[in-house]
Structure 1
Amino acid sequence: MAQDSPFDLLVVGGGINGAGIARDAAGRGLSVLLCEQDDLAAHTSSASTKLIHGGLRYLEYREFALVRKALQERETLLRAAPHIMWPLRFVMPHMPDLRPAWLIRAGLFLYDHLARRELLPGSRGVDLRRHPAGAPLIASIRRGFVYSDGWVDDARLVVLNALDARERGARVMTRTKLVTAARANGLWRAQLVRSDGTTLGVQARAIANAAGPWVGRLLQDAIDRTAQHDAHHASNYAVRLVKGSHIVTRRLFGHDHAYIFQNPDKRIIFAIPYERDFTLIGTTDIEYHGDPARVAITAEETQYLCDSINRYFRQPISPRDVYWSYAGVRPLLEDESAESAKNASAVTRDYRLELDAPDGAAPLLSVFGGKITTFRKLAEEALDDITRALGTPAPAWTAGAPLPGGDIADADFDRFAAQLAQRYTWLPSALAHRYARAYGTRAERVIGEAGSLADLGHAFTPDLYEAELRYLREVEWARTAYDVLWRRTKLGLHVEPDTRDAVSREIDAWFARETSAPQHL
């Protein structure tokens, strides 16, 4: 890779924070290189509960500033990408032995009023003997509460931020690992290694360490922050790795609301309509000390989630009903509260940015903690710090800017989806709707000049055609069947388990045949 001049910013990490930082930086006129050791959103950022939310339960831990910040971001994000994010109503059945009704009402009042709402309706009490959401619940549950938050396709959110960064001039390199970086002559000199073993040397005026679970390891093993290469300075912050696991079952209820269930151990479990035919259930909060790249759900976690659901639903579920599962490691900001020391669920979801630029040396900004809902604000604050340190301050811009495909008139997704279906009448309605959801106004680029299903090319599954696969490869950095079936789309859920391996092999073979085609980096 030839480099005529240093990049202004090298971003390490292709999760939501790294992609958000790269996007913000490119939009402020900085030359940017983003490197990610695996695929975009390969780890934490595709293993969330997929919510854009203030975090109702964080009020119980007096995290008022964090909740307010997250609530302020909800509607900003919903407007930026109404195709991959949308409002969702949550039902909280009341269990008098866990929390009194007055406490829940007080919490919901705060939740409604800590930040301005325009798109989302407020909370209210409901009679679950009459409300549709009461039908699946056990007979003893008679009342509850309903409030609003948002849903997000987490992995696609990461990809769209990276795509916007690239379209604003950034270079995005997936499957490229930072091996070493050291300051020299006012710059960072870094060595990158790609998955094929190719080594690349790059220079940058600043580095943003957004490596998520690896943020501390990167500081310890790869980034030398001293000019003399003789010592590492201790960071003021650290992350605490907490595993969150989820299970997916066939659809457990027919309405469009989600549930938030209180557990006796003070944890919260969500049951969310998912991918039309399924219910997403999670999450657990367990201290994790292993390799973040090898995290997996345990049998005990699966049973815990089933038991949590069975406290509330008439129809019990067991591990045999689990259709799919996933787990991720959340790099939470370590705090010293007594509650978080004994309860991983109480660890703050807030973040801290640490800027290291001693005596005018090349800046290093490291990200500790954070959550999907606050990624845009985190990136904005990070770029404020970085541009000041570089002596090139530039105004923030992302608050009112749509993500790729999100420039939908009045953020009215339903109207947009209907218009797309009318334009492509030959598309099956379910496929047209999925294209609208996944790609928004970019759906036309996926369809291209096709005028029939046959024009979309070979069907790898009843809903995945070669035209989409080619788009994902050429535009969205997809390189494997897993990238496509479980991150860029969730079509893996709609493939019967006994045929998933065969479908994956066929898609991987297609990618292998296409390796000689031109690639976007």
Structure 2
Amino acid sequence: MTQDTVDLLVVGGGINGTGIARDAAGRGLKVLLAEQRDLASATSSASTKLIHGGLRYLEHYEFRLVREALSEREVLLESAPHIIWPLRFILPHEKSLRPAWMIRIGLFLYDHLGGRKRLPASKRVDLRTGPLQSGLKAEYQIGFAYSDCWVNDARLVALNALDARERGVEVLTRSPVLSAKREGKGWIVEIGGDAMIGNQPRLVRARALVNATGPWAGSFIDQQIGGKRDGQLRLVKGSHIIVPRLYQGEHAFILQNEDRRIVFTIPYEGHFTLVGTTDVAYEGDPAGVKISPEEVDYLCNVVNRHFKHHVTAADVVWNYAGVRPLFDTDGSESASAISRDYVLDLEDGEGGAVLLNVFGGKITTYRRLAEHALQKLQPFFPQAGGDWTAKAHLPGGDIANADFTSFEAGLAQRFTWLPSEMRHRLARAYGTRIDRIIGTALSLDGLGTHFGGDLYESEVRYLIDQEWARSADDVLWRRSKLGLHLPVEAQDRLRAWFAAN
């Protein structure tokens, strides 16, 4: 069995793991990342897909978390304007839940805590007429508008992994860590091989180990390391449903429910509305998480309480659920009240074998979490460089002035033969790297096998060669959401193609 030596071995191919690996590589460290399944195959592709400060966290006085998250919105928007863009949110006012003065104070803080520059300020709006009414029931007459950002969460993970690899990180998917033992001044880690591409198991010697396994963080300590799980780590399930589009317009709604939780309705994939999320305590293997009928009913009921057009479980075209690993610092009884802040637990074991456990966190603050992780590890790697990611683009994000509209207009002039919807989807997914998919093609025929819709062989091969796609589901549900758009026959053709290749 071969043995390699690295400075840092990161376990977990979600947003925190790929973010830490990328940051470490940019500081000059030799890094290996191991993921047991596909990139973003769990929590990091099951979010509400928002880069946001967390307006409701103000009620729990989490000002540090909100400030950090708000300041990150525009940093991330600048780094990847193809997969992140501004989104306007409308909060219909319900007198029985929160008084208007409280909402205005909260939005004032929200506007000013994070140093907002690009995004427009909040304001009171009239919901009785015009596009903001958007099918709401007549009882909702006034509301409040504010701004956050939307993100393609699974692609954010893939782009961090891609940038990490281009900076020297070896990224192993479908390669579970089987065991990790302290030996001398480091770790000996056994990693399973990816049978899909014929990789064999291997041993890796690492100076430091990062446990970024998300909802598996506790079981990884128990089973792979042989340590003791921290009792404050709690698993919370969040579920979402996708229904046919509920209203016109590109704005989202933030709906207040009678249990004082909030639910978002967000324009999704052109033809749909994303509704979520729930907060339910979870026990069991995170890999088996599924939405429950009760959660579907809960989300439908929130929609029906606010909109004229009612939805039922029969209207749900797709759903997904994920498990959030939250660090409970104060013994909260309510799952929704547990902090979304992160905790970095550093263990400097006997002989100098370093372990950094990552608990909690949210997708918005992943970059700052990675910075803080490397700052904690700095004493063990004095040769490492300083912070650098705040001004760095993610792959495809080097769009002039972060102006996606002008960028897409330029593509329309260059690729006149590309259908507009296909061009828009490719531009949003790949940004300036769209040329690597188009190649020398001068027509759709030049893109290779046509699977259906606007999916062609050149894109699939790019995802295999550059983004670790190994199956049709990797392409249809994580690197894209084409599973919502392609007919069954097209998806079957893609699966047959993967089987033959």
For the aligned pair, the TM-score class normalised by the smaller chain equals over 0.9
Moved over 6 A (4+): none
Matched, 1:353 2:319: no
2:370 pairs with one of 379, 382, 390: 379
2:424 pairs with one of 418, 421, 433: 433
SS of the equivalent of 1:505 reads helix
1:237/1:368 contact within 8 Å kept = no
Matched, 1:17 2:22: no
1:319 pairs with one of 300, 306, 313: 313
CA distance in structure 2 between the aligned counterparts of 1:47 and 1:375, rounded to whole angstroms: 15
1:194 deviates by 2.1
1:257 corresponds in structure 2 to 251
Provide Cα deviations, 1:345-365, integer angstroms capped at 9, x if missing partner: 111000010111135512111
1:209 corresponds in structure 2 to 211
1:512 corresponds in structure 2 to 499
1:219 pairs with one of 221, 227, 244: 221
SS of the equivalent of 2:109 reads helix
CA distance in structure 2 between the aligned counterparts of 1:360 and 1:91, rounded to whole angstroms: 55
2:409 pairs with one of 397, 400, 418: 418
SS of the equivalent of 1:19 reads helix
Matched, 1:44 2:38: no
CA distance in structure 1 between the aligned counterparts of 2:356 and 2:108, rounded to whole angstroms: 37
1:403 corresponds in structure 2 to 394
1:162 deviates by 0.2
RMSD over aligned CA atoms reads 1.3
1:482 deviates by 0.8
1:357/1:389 contact within 8 Å kept = no
CA distance in structure 2 between the aligned counterparts of 1:40 and 1:205, rounded to whole angstroms: 24
1:198 deviates by 3.1
Residues 237 and 421 (structure 1 numbering): CA distance in 2 closer, same or farther, change over 3 Å?
A: farther
1:398 deviates by 0.2
1:236 deviates by 5.7
Using structure 1 for the length normalisation, give the TM-score.
0.93
2:187/2:208 contact within 8 Å kept = yes
Provide Cα deviations, 1:423-451, integer angstroms capped at 9, x if missing partner: 11111111111111000000000111111
What is the percent sequence identity of the aligned residues?
58
2:155 corresponds in structure 1 to 156
Residues 2 and 448 (structure 1 numbering): CA distance in 2 closer, same or farther, change over 3 Å?
A: farther
CA distance in structure 2 between the aligned counterparts of 1:355 and 1:249, rounded to whole angstroms: 43
CA distance in structure 2 between the aligned counterparts of 1:121 and 1:33, rounded to whole angstroms: 41
Matched, 1:140 2:142: no
- Unpaired segments of 5 or more residues in structure 1? 225-231, 515-521
Matched, 1:97 2:91: no
1:239 pairs with one of 233, 236, 240: 233
2:222/2:229 contact within 8 Å kept = no
1:235 deviates by 5.8
CA distance in structure 2 between the aligned counterparts of 1:359 and 1:300, rounded to whole angstroms: 49
Matched, 1:481 2:472: yes
CA distance in structure 1 between the aligned counterparts of 2:495 and 2:189, rounded to whole angstroms: 32
CA distance in structure 2 between the aligned counterparts of 1:492 and 1:235, rounded to whole angstroms: 37
SS of the equivalent of 2:410 reads helix
1:302 corresponds in structure 2 to 296
Amino acid at match of 2:284: G
Amino acid at match of 1:56: L
Amino acid at match of 2:100: A
2:117 corresponds in structure 1 to 118
2:343/2:359 contact within 8 Å kept = yes
Matches for 1:259-278 after TM superposition, within 5 Å: 259-278=253-272
CA distance in structure 2 between the aligned counterparts of 1:349 and 1:95, rounded to whole angstroms: 26
Using structure 2 for the length normalisation, give the TM-score.
0.97
1:200 pairs with one of 199, 202, 218: 202
1:482/1:504 contact within 8 Å kept = no
Residues 237 and 409 (structure 1 numbering): CA distance in 2 closer, same or farther, change over 3 Å?
A: farther
1:421/1:433 contact within 8 Å kept = no
1:133 deviates by 1.4
Matched, 1:63 2:54: no
CA distance in structure 1 between the aligned counterparts of 2:418 and 2:279, rounded to whole angstroms: 42
Provide Cα deviations, 1:123-177, integer angstroms capped at 9, x if missing partner: 0000111341113100111000000000000000000000000000000000000
CA distance in structure 2 between the aligned counterparts of 1:14 and 1:511, rounded to whole angstroms: 23
2:29/2:384 contact within 8 Å kept = no
SS of the equivalent of 2:469 reads coil
1:180 corresponds in structure 2 to 179
Matched, 1:54 2:53: yes
1:335 deviates by 2.3
1:390 deviates by 3.0
1:26/1:168 contact within 8 Å kept = yes
Amino acid at match of 1:88: L
Provide Cα deviations, 1:222-249, integer angstroms capped at 9, x if missing partner: 114xxxxxxx3x4667421110000001
1:495 deviates by 2.2
1:228 corresponds in structure 2 to none
SS of the equivalent of 2:317 reads strand
1:353/1:367 contact within 8 Å kept = yes
Provide Cα deviations, 1:6-43, integer angstroms capped at 9, x if missing partner: 10110000000000000001111111100000000000
The count of corresponding residues between Structure 1 and Structure 2 is: 498
CA distance in structure 2 between the aligned counterparts of 1:347 and 1:177, rounded to whole angstroms: 29
1:450 corresponds in structure 2 to 441
Amino acid at match of 1:41: A
